Structure 1
Amino acid sequence: MKPAFLPGLALSLLTGTATLAQPTAPGLPATPQRPVTDTYFGKKVVDNYRWLENTNDPEVKAWFQTQADYTKRTLDQLPGRDSLIKTFEAYDKLLTVRYGLVKKRGNRYFYRKTLPSETVGKLYVREGKTGPEKLLFDPTAYDKTKTYSMTGYTPSPDGQQVALGLQEGGAELSTLRILTVATRAFRPESIPAVFGGEIDWLPDGSGFLYTPNNSTDPKDPKGNLDTKARLHRLGTPVAADRELWSRMKNPNMGIRPDQYPIMAFANDHTQVYGVLSSVDRRMDAWLMSPADLAKPTIAWKRLAAPTDSVYNFAKLGSKLYLHSVKGAPKGQILVTDAASPNTAKATVLLPEGPGNITRLLSTKDYLFVVLSDGINEKVRQYDPRTQQWADVPMPGTGTAGLEPYNPTTSNDIFTYVSTWNRPETVYDYTPESRKMVVSAFDMQARYPGTDDLVVEELEVPGHDGVMVPLSLVYKKGLKKDGNAVCFMTGYAAYGVSATPYFSRRMLALLNQGVILAETHPRGGSEKGQAWYRAGYQTTKPNTWKDFISCGEYLVKNRYTSPQHLIGEGTSAGGILIGRAITERPDLFAAAISNVSCSNALRMENSPNGPVNAPEFGTVKDSVQCMGLYEMDAFQHVKPGTKYPAVLCVGGMNDPRVIVWQPGKFAAALQAASTSGKPVLLQVNYDNGHFTEDKKVTFRNFANMYAFALWQAGHPAFQPKSVAAVK
């Protein structure tokens, strides 16, 4: 395979006999080292495992399978692992029915419903909120020879049709099918490579707008580049779908290959919006008239440029409301004319205040703004008719969940509050009366141990003196003697904040005396835009240094000790955990690097890499390239270092973080570590970045937790002899 040459990047291949690393444990063959040297703007960087990136090569496939088999044999023998799975199942059964994705069309309520005995949810409909339910679609009966789940669905405006995404074998990319509600039969259309059934129907239900990937193969390097927004008319061949908006069709709009052109109607269907979606939260947005959908050329009008720093917008009547952070790091709400929006002349409706604006949404007649103090959220509503703001009486503090049933025709909202130590209660909220009543879709369960959970919200000093939020959850009576196992996790990317949530899986650990430490490093938005930008591209080191500071605080104050501290990072959080253990290997007993970005310098050489360049940087820029090198955990693995025990996890069907990212990190750690602690690679062949399938999910997390608790010295997870896990 010929390498791609990029500006400022020279590549030389070092040929010769491959060297062998030392095996990490008996029964696991050593991984060959075949060095490749890249020169990035004068800096030479050696990659010993470039060959693992060719996942179609039989040798590479065999390597991953060998790693997966060895890891499975090891984890299968851990005491406590199967008990964790049983605990997950037992807690799951306590909630007799689980509802999700509730949507209203006319008088019909559509929803996903999952019973404890079911691995995936089914689609139901009711006439009226409390009417008798009707099963519309069971993904397990769709094809008995395969494993399917329903990733998402969108009912048509009249509720007569439902577009739904079918996911096969844990693959995240779905096949879009159209279900007729009256007959429960599928129309002939079958559209591949669509994320989760994400479409927007035409107002009359005759078709829909959608943007598919170019390929169903998550490893296709061109799968999500130069995608095209299309229009499908029901009853017409998919191959004839019109291309409405793309870089090729609109060469003068400055569309980048990595941007997804997404089109959707305003709630009142009077406008169509186009958003060039990417990981950059600053919207690149346009608008058009619905009448232009029938014309050969669309007359696009600029709504907001990235330099306007608009994070979201909502239309109510003749006005457009904008969530902007330009000159207001914690956010402000602006208002402008919807027909001719002008962000420069927009009026400030809600000025920046002490609370960080985390969300803007609307119903038929009301605007809602969610504000956070860094951890807990409150909600305000605005009525344009009276020009009055009012507080929404949320039932408690924590993360505020708000989902309109149908923002086109209704003001009713499905709402809840998530906390660290209590499962949420679901309410129906009516903004006209500002009343909340327990929803017909609320199902309560009482979980063991929740009354004994203590929550501490702290701020700890970071490496540079900046105070970093830290949330702790643990059982009453904790002895601060350094002997408790602590599970410390973090994400801190894309401006995503770690807000309170209740997790039955984590409850299984909490009830065994484990401390949960949720960190809030720079890179999230807990303290606004400035907090996000302080852990972004070249400032990314603050992310893992904040994580390390949280661990140091927990050790210093005797919550735990390095012998009992577990670190975990998932996806972009792989940068956080990877660099934390390569910078401070002595601080952790164990680490979980889950579907992790571990080789940031090579991310652009993966299918989803170019899409993420606006967040992490690009090797085409000399400054950003050095930032990528600094955040690359794989490149910071040093031979002869006593690394903690590490479990790397990769999904063979993962379209977001390709499997060789955690794979190469595992290979490097296996060769380098002198601690004698295991470094394992769990390869999920029935999973992607994640999956709805409860059976697969329970096994996956039980494996991760059991490994970490074993290595952190939890007594319930210690084998009788070392030989038992070799």
Structure 2
Amino acid sequence: MNYFLALTLTVLLLQKTVAQPALPPTPQRPVTDTYFGKTVVDNYRWLEDMANPETAAWFKAQGDYTNAVLAQIPGRDKLIDTFADYDSHLSVRYGEIKKRGNTYFYRKTLPTEKAGKLYMREGQKGAEKMLFDPAAYAPGKTYLMTAFTPSSNGQKLVIGLQEGGAELSTIRTMTVATKTFGPESITAVFGGEVSWLPDDSGFLYTPNNSMDTKDPKGNLNTKGRLHKLGTNPATDPDLFSIEKNPDFGIRADQYPIMFYSDDNTQVYGYLGTVDRRATAWVAPASEVGKPAIAWKRLCTVTDSVSSFVKLGNQLFLESVKGAPNGQILVTDATNPNPAKATVLLPEGKQRITRVGSSKDFLFVTLSDGINEKIRQYNPRSRQWAEVPIPLSGTTGLEAYDAAHSNEVLAYVSSWKQPTVVYDYDPVTQKLVSSLFDVKVDYPGVADLVVEELEIPGHDGTMVPLSLIYRKDLKRDGSAVCFMNGYGAYGNSSVPVFARQRLALLNKGVVVAETHPRGGSEKGQAWYKAGYKTTKPNTWKDFISSGEYLIKNGYTSAGRLIGMGTSAGGVLIGRAITERPDLFAAAISNVSCSNALRMENSPNGPVNAAEFGTVKDSTECMALYEMDAVNHVTAGTKYPAVICVGGWNDPRVIAWQPGKFAAALQNATSSGKPVLMQVNYDNGHFTEDKAVTFRNFANMYAFALWQAGHPDFQPAGVAKK
């Protein structure tokens, strides 16, 4: 099949095109399935076999073709330079600041560095010392630090390392005083997170079964394990799993995760899943290490508890049971009972978005759908108070050391406000600028306008829409508009400052952040209105947002770009298959595009709780409806599309966007290009700035080219 590798240069006289290699052909090999009486023909099932050399060659040829096309787009490389220039405005970036005793551990990244290094200092004003540089970990290889977890005494660290953006980390232990690694090397720990034992003699962790992100059994029947420092990880005992707890009803697709309360008096067994309703058990910390842990039920899905925090002898529960905007309940920590818990903070007009704590205080973040505020609660005085953050937008509090201190880092950001960081003392309620706050001034920010709107959806429901644009915008339909959407898992699109978005805004592009059903902008009901059988509302709200923008002169159909990422692949895939006339270009980034086949991917079973399962007749038909691949129709004039897949992606396997690209390439009659970008040095995302800048510049440049932006048009090509 050497035609997959053949890249014959030719000049394609197509609308808005450039000199480019020939598009690699994709054979159609029909496979017929019957789902509850419905016949479905899958022409691209063969692309799911990524271990097959023919499939690997197809992806390689598609990637080479795409790279050749993208390299010829004027403005692409300048966009990369702009991203790097904006990055250089921030003299240093801090992240994941954690305190143990008087020692601060943190990630620090300089503009000249691709990724962060691990540092420490004694006291905030102490001398800074570098502990670990992942770039120097293995010469000749590229490693990134996924996570670091200090022990309670700050003398040891567990560091998670990844290669190729896979997110499946190898974890190592480090002695802080000597900066030396211990003998442990434990593979396939998702994200590299662990929970240290109270005496710092080891840690709890849950590994995958394989480092292969394409292994269909890699994350099934996983086990919560205990590792004692200095022992062979191969002998680590199983403490929490289907085998260890056969009466708990644990499913194969659920992650059995164990972690301690902040005060280290309790251990929790938690079933990790995409279902926001927690299933968890609790036991005294002293039970860890016994032949069998004496677990007590903490909550189950019917309790609709999404998070819990222990302070003293009380357990505070965030629950949406009978309260779509959320409420805070309080119960006895030793014998928790959500059904008999007391309502501490009843449901209000504002939605509870996050709950956290310091040593003595509970913090609750509430949102009006766009802007957030934070309230604090003192269990001793039983008093509530407002946290006095002076700016509006997305806010947050993170305790430096919730077990031992009330010292808290506070932050706020918005669509046009770079993140501002404070230190906050809940005892005095004093907020001061943090040493970790870095002042920054970006070009063009002062000229930006933000509009928060509600527009009518397809069924009359009012749908939020956030617009950012330059104040000199002419609403005559001539502006290019970049419209982004997600709408899944109850995750809302919140106001945060993004340098890459600023690069578009400073080119006169209108940026539209949509808030379709499936998110939680309007609470639990908004989430459930874009979930499983109601999922069509998600892409229909996105379509309605585009129609509003065109009708009101912000843009026109020939200049509208749509983008969806990950689960937002359902949104963008079905938006362009339902309304191909509405868009000039679409970006389908690491996208769930073939919903009917998601359960056949390694990360698919765990996501059935969000999208549905083919094993249920009703949910199966809902999956078919949200499946973009199965709604591609031959002879349709589709917009220009760039699909993106990460070869090492553990969340959305690359054949999901790959099959969508193949279907569109064989079906479209518009003459507009359909590309399949393959990132071999990336997974679902990456911290590596060089890779990230290139990836987003590729997507943006392609879309801006096809939407007619003058900075991205090849010389000699007539505008249409």
**TM-score normalized with structure 2 length:** 0.97
CA change 1:678–1:722 in 2 (3 A) is: farther
Partner of 2:628: 633
Deviations 1:231-289 (A, max 9, x none): 00001100111100001211110001111111111111111011111000000011011
- Over residues 431-458 of structure 1, what are the superposed CA-to-partner deviations in whole Å (9 max), with x where a residue is unaligned? 0011111111111110000000100000
- Distance in 2 of aligned mates of 1:365 and 1:417: 23
Distance (whole Å) between structure 1 residues aligned to residue 407 and residue 668 of structure 2 = 56
SS of residue in 2 equivalent to 1:416? strand
**Could you say which residue in structure 2 is the equivalent of 1:672?**
667
How far apart are the structure 2 equivalents of 1:43 and 1:165?
46
Pair 1:170 & 2:165 matched = yes
Q: Is the 8 A contact 1:153 1:163 kept in 2?
A: yes
Q: Provide the residue aligned with 1:483 in structure 2.
A: 478
Alignment of 1:523-538 (within 5 A): 523-538=518-533
Given candidates 441, 445, 469, the residue that maps to 2:464 is 469
Runs of 4+ aligned residues of structure 1 deviating over 6 Å after TM superposition are none
1:306 equivalent to 2:301? Answer yes
Query: 1:368: Cα distance to partner?
Result: 0.5
Please tell me whether residue 271 in structure 1 is matched to residue 266 in structure 2.
Answer: yes
CA contact (8 A) 1:153 1:196 kept: no
Segment drifting more, 525-534 vs 395-404 = 395-404
- Whether the 8 Å CA contact 2:88–2:111 is kept in 1: the answer is yes
What CA distance in whole angstroms lies between the structure 1 residues aligned with 2:397 and 2:596?
38
In structure 1, the residue matched to 2:432 is 437
Paired amino acid for 2:459: D
Once the two structures are superposed, the pairs formed by residues 487-498 of structure 1 within 5 Å of their partners are 487-498=482-493
Q: Per-residue displacement from partner, 1:510-543 (whole Å, max 9, x unpaired)? A: 0000011000000000000000000000100000
Contact 2:519 2:526 in 1 (8 A): yes
Give the aligned residue type for 2:593: S
Task: Supply the AA of the counterpart residue of 2:672.
Answer: K
In 2, Cα distance between the equivalents of 1:82 and 1:510? 17
Matched residue SS, 2:247: helix
**Alpha-carbon distance, 1:29 to partner:** 2.7
Instruction: Indicate conservation of the 8 Å contact 2:21/2:65, yes or no.
Output: no
- CA distance in 2 between partners of 1:446 and 1:307 (Å): 48
1:542 aligned partner, one-letter code: N
Residue 228 (structure 1) aligns with: 223
Residues 374-453 of structure 1 mapped to structure 2, 5 A cutoff? 374-453=369-448
Q: What is the deviation of 1:721? A: 4.0
Query: Is 1:591 paired with 2:586?
Result: yes
Q: Is 1:353 the counterpart of 2:348 in the alignment?
A: yes
Indicate the residue corresponding to 1:681 in structure 2.
Answer: 676
Secondary structure at 2:420 match in 1: coil
Report the Cα distance in structure 1 between the residues aligned to 2:353 and 2:175, rounded to whole angstroms: 37
SS at match of 1:442: coil
- Contact in 2 for aligned 1:569/1:594 (Cα 8 Å): yes
Give SS of 2:183's match.
strand
Determine helix, strand or coil for the equivalent of 2:693: helix
Match of 2:201 among 206, 210, 216: 206
Assess if the C-alpha contact under 8 Å between 2:421 and 2:437 holds in 1.
yes
2:504 pairs with 1:522 = no
Contact map agreement 2:188 2:209 (CA 8 A) in 1: yes
Partners of 1:179 and 1:698 in 2: how far apart?
Answer: 32
What corresponds to 1:147 in structure 2? Answer: 142
- Matched residue, 1:242: 237
* CA apart distance, 1:366: 0.2
Conserved in 1, the CA contact under 8 Å of 2:365 and 2:396?
A: no
**Residues 439-482 of structure 1: CA distance to partner in whole angstroms, max 9, x if unpaired?**
11111110000000100000000000000000000001211000
- Asked if 1:344 is matched to 2:339, the reply is yes
- Distance in 2, Cα, partners of 1:232 & 1:507: 45
Q: Does 1:662 align with 2:692?
A: no
Whether 1:718 and 2:713 are equivalent positions in the alignment is yes
- C-alpha distance in structure 2 between counterparts of 1:299 and 1:650, whole Å: 44
Q: Please give the secondary structure, in 1, of the residue aligned with 2:691.
A: helix
1:11 maps to none
2:368 aligned to which of 373, 388, 398: 373
- What does residue 603 of structure 2 align with? 608
Equivalent residue letter for 1:87: T
Q: Normalising to structure 1: TM-score of the pair? A: 0.96
- SS class of match (1:189): coil
Gaps of at least 5 residues in structure 2 are 1-11, 15-19
CA distance in 1, matches of 2:220, 2:539: 30
The residue that corresponds to 1:115 in the other structure is 110
Contact 1:164 1:196 in 2 (8 A): no
Give % identity: 71
Q: Shift in Å at residue 144 of structure 1?
A: 1.3
- Provide the C-alpha distance between the structure 1 equivalents of 2:396 and 2:584, rounded to a whole number of angstroms: 36
Q: Which blocks of at least 5 consecutive residues in structure 1 are unaligned?
A: 1-22
Deviation digits for residues 65-97 of structure 1 (CA, Å, limit 9, x no counterpart) = 000000000001100000000000111111111
**Distance in 1 of aligned mates of 2:70 and 2:211:** 32
**Count of residue pairs brought into register by the alignment:** 701
Conserved 8 A contact 1:146-1:169 = no
Partner of 1:12: none
Q: Partner residue of 1:705?
A: 700
Report if the CA contact (8 A) 1:106-1:159 is conserved.
Answer: yes
User: Which of 42, 46, 64 is the equivalent residue of 1:47?
Assistant: 42
Q: Residue 161 of structure 1: which of 132, 156, 162 is its match?
A: 156
Equivalent residues of 1:395, 1:416 under 8 A apart: no
Q: Name the structure 2 match of 1:649.
A: 644
Aligned 8 A contact 1:649 1:682 in 2 = yes
1:287 maps to a residue whose letter is V
Any conservation in 2 of the 1:364–1:410 contact (CA below 8 Å)? yes
Q: Distance in 2 between matches of 1:64 and 1:447?
A: 38
Q: Following the alignment from structure 2 to structure 1, what is the Cα–Cα distance between the partners of residues 219 and 289?
A: 27
Asked whether the equivalents of residues 488 and 568 of structure 1 are also in contact (C-alpha less than 8 Å), the reply is yes
Q: Secondary structure at the match of 2:297?
A: strand
Is the aligned partner of 1:132 residue 2:127? yes
The 5-angstrom pairing of residues 53-68 of structure 1 reads: 53-68=48-63
Q: Which amino acid in 2 is paired with 1:708?
A: A
> RMSD over aligned Cα, in angstroms?
1.0
* Cα distance in 1, alignment partners of residues 717 and 643 from structure 2: 21
Whether the 8 Å contact between 2:410 and 2:422 is mirrored in structure 1 is yes
* Displacement of 1:401: 2.0
State the distance in 1 between where 2:716 and 2:538 align. 38
1:690 to 682, 685, 691: 685
Q: 1:15 — aligned with what?
A: none
Instruction: Give, as a single letter, the amino acid of the residue that structure 2 aligns with 1:104.
Output: K
Aligned partner of residue 294 in structure 1, secondary structure: coil
CA distance in 2, matches of 1:501, 1:49: 39
Q: CA offsets per residue over residues 664-721 of structure 1, 9 Å max, x none?
A: 0000000000000000000000000001011100000000000000000000000114
Q: How far apart are residue 26 of structure 1 and its match?
A: 5.8
